[in-house]
């Protein structure tokens, strides 16, 4: 039995990730067992701390919260591996790239940000939904949470695009213009996802380096 694919969807707040993850999962499910996961997973004890931080009911040092985001992925990592080995394709709404991009945008060192995620299951494909801050703002603006500000989002977008160019990850990335219609974005994500599915069919799961 072939293993499942690890398909990561990344993007700025209001890029349409939730809508598109649902559509992708529904479509994949017609031909293969598929599961949706989301980070941060706010349902665990670590996720509860992250949630309080994002809603500004608690304050944490930037490094400390970065490590919590990573720990929140690690606590799911054995389950993800088991799912992939069992032939289940796992679609993930945000993963290590959000971890690095948001913390780096706050001024943390890039190598330091990456280190705690080294060893996690590596995506077969990372699909970045790219949208300008202006277009995102036109979609009803940002919410109340930390980071949901134009200037921060501009920096994060820059950072995501730099990650795409990093040689360690470059081959895994696909950038999709998220400013198009919901249907067009869905189609382009579908095409990009095939890259990950094909990789899972022919190659072993790797770890983040
Ligand atoms: N975020 C998300 C991080 O800063 N680091 C991470 O590792 C992850 C996974 O959390 N603005 C940020 C990005 C978002 C915020 O995510 C909450 P969401 O998808 O809006 O629940
Ligand atoms: Mg959000």
pLDDT (0 to 100) of residue 10: 97
In a domain, 162, yes or no: yes
pLDDT (0 to 100) of residue 75: 98
Q: Whose CA is nearest to atom 16 of ligand 1?
A: 40
Probe target for ligand 1 pocket from 9, 98, 144, with the most ligand atoms within 8 Å of CB: 98
In a domain, 207, yes or no: no
Ligand 1 centroid–CA 45 distance in Å is 16
In a domain, 1, yes or no: no
pLDDT (0 to 100) of residue 141: 73
Based on the structure, what is the number of domains in the chain?
Answer: 1
User: Does any ligand 1 atom lie closer than 6 A to the CB of residue 117?
Assistant: no
In a domain, 15, yes or no: yes
pLDDT, one tens digit per residue, over 180-204 is: 999 999 999 999 999 999 999 999 9
In a domain, 177, yes or no: yes
In a domain, 78, yes or no: yes
Peptide bond preceding 193: is omega within 30 degrees of 0, i.e. cis?
no
Domain that holds residue 28: 6-202
C-alpha–C-alpha distance, residues 157 and 107, integer Å: 14
Q: Whose CA is nearest to atom 7 of ligand 1?
A: 99
Q: Whose CA is nearest to atom 4 of ligand 1?
A: 102
Residue stretches of the chain with pLDDT short of 70? none
- Check which CATH number belongs to the domain holding 67 and give it: 3.40.50.300
Ligand nearest to the CA of 106: 1
pLDDT, one tens digit per residue, over 144-169 is: 899 999 899 999 999 999 999 998 88
pLDDT (0 to 100) of residue 95: 98
199: its two tokens: 């990789």
pTM of the model: 0.97
In a domain, 138, yes or no: yes
C-alpha–C-alpha distance, residues 4 and 2, integer Å: 7
C-alpha–C-alpha distance, residues 17 and 19, integer Å: 6
In a domain, 208, yes or no: no
pLDDT (0 to 100) of residue 134: 82
């Amino acid at each position: 039995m072939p293993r499942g694919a690890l398909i990561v969807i990344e993007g700025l707040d209001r890029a349409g990730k939730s809508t598109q993850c649902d559509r992708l999962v529904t479509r994949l499910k017609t031909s293969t067992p598929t599961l949706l996961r989301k980070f941060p997973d706010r349902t665990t004890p670590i996720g509860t701390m992250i949630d309080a931080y994002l809603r500004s009911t608690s304050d944490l040092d930037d490094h400390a919260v970065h490590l919590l985001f990573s720990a929140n992925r690690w606590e799911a990592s054995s389950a993800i591996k088991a799912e992939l080995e069992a032939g289940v394709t796992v679609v993930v709404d945000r993963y290590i790239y959000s971890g690095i991009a948001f913390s780096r945008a706050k001024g943390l060192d890039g190598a330091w940000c990456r280190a705690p995620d080294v060893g996690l299951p590596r995506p077969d494909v990372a699909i970045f939904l790219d949208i300008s801050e202006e277009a995102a703002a036109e979609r009803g603006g940002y919410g109340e949470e930390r980071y949901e500000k134009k200037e921060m989002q501009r920096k994060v977008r820059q950072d995501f695009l730099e990650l795409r160019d990093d040689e360690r990850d470059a081959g895994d990335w696909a950038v999709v213009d998220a400013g198009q219609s919901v249907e067009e974005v869905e189609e382009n994500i579908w095409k990009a996802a095939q890259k990950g599915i094909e990789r899972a069919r022919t190659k072993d799961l790797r770890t983040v380096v």
